[in-house]
Amino acid sequence: MPKLLGRDKPIFGMLHLGGNTRAERLDRVKYETQAYVEGGIDGVIVENYFGDYDDVAAALDWLDDNRPANTIIGLNTLDNDALAFELAASHPIDFVQLDGVAGHLSPNDDPDFAQQLAVWRASSLVFGGVRFKYQPVLSGNDEATDVAIGATRCDALVVTASKTGEETDVAKVLRFREVVGKDYPLLIGAGLTAENAATGLAVADGAIVGSYLKDTHEAKGIVSPANVQKLMSAVNLLR
């Protein structure tokens, strides 16, 4: 299986920008980044799951000046793909994550999106979703067709179940693998835990993890150093 960004089975921890005020959300970014790095996470993804776009910019500004050594930085600006690439042009981002790169648009809308995405990809690495959680399926294609199209539009495909925190069915990852082949990077994008890491990472090339790493094992929680260490201990056994 391929290495991704030079890492073997990389794990990316989500920075969901939780908190009640902008200051609290930035403090949470600082705390959670430290917990991730000290626990051995390979990278973080800044995402406006709870915060707004100004919170994303504030987090990136802080990471610009305080980026931990050897830590990969990703970015996902939900509901505003263009902003992600705009920010990637002004910050040292390693990749942009898009929840949908194929299958989520109608045949009328998809060509314009594909053309724009090709322009964006000229300057940014893209991790993309197909049949991704909360995304509609509007293409009229079967799953395999959308997966094949999606693989041409991004540098790694992210596979999820239907919602945040729900374990991703290994059978779905294997269906994607059958389409894209053994050398194309596939990431599990939801539901990875210390308990299922061996099964999931046997077929995937890495994972994006959020809910499991929180103190409550839910997205709205705060990252728990103990949960990070528990997951990474399981992952390191596989490495």
Fold classification of 11-238 (topology level): TIM Barrel (3.20.20)
What pLDDT digit, counting tens, does each position of 179-224 carry? 999 999 999 999 999 999 999 999 999 999 999 999 999 999 999 9
Supply the pTM of this predicted model. Answer: 0.97
- Domain positions in the chain are 11-238
Q: Which residues of 134-155 are buried (b: 16+ CB within 10 A; e: fewer)?
A: ebeeebebebeebbebbbebbb
Q: What is the pLDDT of residue 2?
A: 72
Give the model confidence (pLDDT) of 170-191 as tens digits: 999 999 999 999 999 999 999 9
Strands 207-209 and 11-15: parallel
Residue in this structure with the two tokens 């728990």, named with its chain if needed? 224
pLDDT at 1 over 70: no
